[in-house]
């Protein structure tokens, strides 16, 4: 391979900016065993016990390796129910890294969504987002509101090599906000105004779109539109640091700015955020809501107490707040982010060179295999992405996850499969856990499956749960 330059796809520093302090043994079970195990769990990798998996790329959520400083933080956690010093540490870290004065800890990101949405979303509301993640959508819909995806059209093109495919479509945003029932003070409601919009969300990076970043210019413009229409803007900030690093790499004028400053600028455009600490908080458990408005904070604490815990611990052990506050400081380290983004890009580049079809450009936390191009001969009724996920496990003991028809479920009205625009296998890379050699094994497994793709068979359901079928469904090979 030619060595790419800093900022180009596939570039990464010479070596990891850390050394290994504690290890966890993993083992690759034999191929005949893997054949047997996958059949036992009905060809669904969610059913596999973790010991049966050699390299686990199911998710980057909660699977990070914490640093020695974070582990040390675990030992100094203050478990007081009220006024824990670990809470004040978290508050300082959030203020320092994000610039928000008010924090409500929650046990993880979806709990932050639950608390904030219960506070702000009413039945009949519409919540615009660049692209809702599945739990976010579930929380919006659970309250009888509509989740509206306004991402740019480019996000749906798997091969368009564009720098900021997570951007929200500003034109669509403007048109949506113009339809608000409650118009800007001093103006008459527009004709046909029919929407109640409690806030706008932007997800950075855009997870459902493949971990694609949102540009600073886009955030700034979206913020301006929201302010003009007097609608609050919130970030789903789960991967904010990865997004900030992409801005540094790709957006004119940011190449010499510190990631920390870039992150602060991103947050300066919004009223608050929900955060899953399990991603860019570099922890195994934890999340929070961060806010500027004391009135929203007061209302949200009432729900936090009911669903999570007292506002100074929010359903977390004190030690986990301590670890998260240290993780927030570590994640904006430039060397770490260069390694992290480069590490993921390295897998993408290896796959591309082997001719494996992937979604481009490679995002911040995962590489997505394009199952429709990988298995062009398998009809979508036979769940090609699910079949590919299964083969990858059999071939290399690697666990990815289907992001396609199985995940999309059936239309509640017609009972028919909802075929999404993309049919993918996500290979999510846990932070600081696997080495480049592990990624070579993954790439090798993908390449070998590609070589025998003509022999791959499709799948059919033998057990299909009514909701969230992907977790517990069972299949048979056709």
Tokens of 111: 């709990």
Residue 225 or 291 with smaller CB distance to another protein: 291
Q: What are phi and psi of 321, to 5 degrees?
A: -65, -40
Helical H runs in 122-239?
Answer: 134-142, 170-178, 216-228
Contact 165, 206 (CB under 8 A): yes
- Least Å distance between CB 134 and another protein? 9
Exposure of 198 in the CB half-sphere (CA atoms within 13 A)? 18
Sequence-distant (≥ 6) Cβ neighbours of residue 219 within 8 angstroms: 202, 266, 269, 270
Burial per residue of 3-19, b for 16 or more beta-carbon CB atoms within 10 angstroms, e otherwise: eeeeeebbbbeeebeee
DSSP conformation letters of 256-298: TS-HHHHHHHHHHTSSEEEEETTTTT--SS-EEEEES-HHHHH
Residue written as token pair 């934890």: 286
Cα→Cα distances 414→388, 417, 418, Å: 27, 9, 10
Quote the radius of gyration of the chain (alpha carbons, Å): 22
Contact 368, 403 (CB under 8 A): yes
Tokens of 373: 């191009």
- Using CB under 8 A, list all residues that contact another protein: 22, 45-53, 56, 58-59, 61-63, 74-75, 77-85, 88, 107-108, 110-111, 114, 135, 138-139, 142, 284-285, 298, 301-302, 305-311, 313, 315-320, 465, 467-468, 471-472
Residues in the chain: 478
Residues forming the active site: 81, 133-134, 236, 238, 279, 470
Q: Are strands 233-236 and 200-203 parallel, antiparallel or unpaired?
A: parallel
């Amino acid at each position: 391979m030619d060595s790419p330059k800093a900022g180009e796809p596939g570039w990464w520093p010479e070596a990891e900016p850390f050394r290994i302090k504690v290890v966890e043994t993993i083992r690759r079970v034999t191929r005949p065993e893997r054949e047997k195990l996958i059949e036992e769990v009905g060809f669904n990798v969610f059913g596999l016990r973790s010991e049966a998996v050699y390299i686990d790329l199911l998710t980057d959520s909660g699977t990070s390796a914490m640093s020695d400083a974070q582990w040390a933080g675990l030992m100094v956690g203050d478990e007081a129910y009220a006024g824990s010093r670990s809470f004040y540490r978290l508050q300082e870290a959030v203020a320092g890294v994000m610039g928000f004065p008010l924090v409500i800890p929650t046990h993880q990101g979806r709990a932050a969504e639950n608390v904030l949405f219960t506070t702000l979303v009413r039945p009949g509301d519409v919540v615009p987002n660049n692209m809702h993640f599945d739990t976010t959508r579930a929380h919006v819909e659970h309250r009888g509101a509509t989740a509206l995806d306004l991402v740019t059209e480019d996000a749906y093109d798997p091969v368009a090599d564009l720098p900021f495919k997570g951007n929200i479509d500003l034109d669509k945003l403007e048109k949506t906000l113009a339809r608000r029932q409650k118009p800007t003070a001093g103006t008459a409601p527009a004709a046909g105004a029919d929407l109640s919009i409690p806030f706008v969300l932007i997800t950075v990076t855009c997870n459902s779109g493949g971990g694609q970043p949102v540009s600073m210019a886009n955030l700034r413009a979206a913020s301006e539109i929201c302010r003009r229409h007097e609608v609050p803007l919130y970030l789903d900030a789960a991967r904010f640091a990865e997004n900030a690093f992409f801005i540094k790499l790709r957006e004119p004028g940011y190449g010499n700015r510190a990631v920390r400053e870039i992150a602060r600028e991103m947050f300066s455009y919004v009223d608050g955020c929900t955060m899953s600490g399990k991603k860019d908080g570099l922890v195994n458990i934890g999340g929070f809501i961060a806010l500027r408005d004391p009135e929203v904070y007061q209302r949200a604490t009432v729900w936090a107490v009911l669903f999570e815990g007292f506002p100074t611990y929010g359903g977390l052990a004190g030690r986990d707040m301590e670890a998260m506050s240290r993780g927030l400081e570590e994640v904006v380290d430039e060397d770490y982010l260069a390694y992290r983004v480069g590490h993921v890009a390295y897998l993408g580049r290896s796959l591309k060179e082997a001719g494996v079809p992937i979604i481009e450009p490679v995002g911040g936390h995962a590489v997505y295999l394009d199952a429709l191009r990988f298995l062009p001969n398998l009809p979508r009724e036979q769940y090609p992405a699910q079949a590919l996920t299964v083969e990858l496990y059999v071939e290399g003991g690697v666990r990815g996850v289907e992001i396609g028809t199985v995940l999309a479920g059936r239309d509640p009205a017609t009972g028919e499969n909802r075929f999404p625009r993309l049919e993918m296998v996500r290979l999510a890379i846990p932070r600081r856990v696997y080495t480049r050699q592990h990624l070579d094994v993954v790439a090798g497994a993908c390449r070998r499956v590609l070589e025998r793709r003509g022999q791959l068979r499709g799948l059919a359901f033998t057990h299909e749960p009514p909701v969230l079928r992907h977790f517990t469904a069972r299949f048979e090979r056709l």
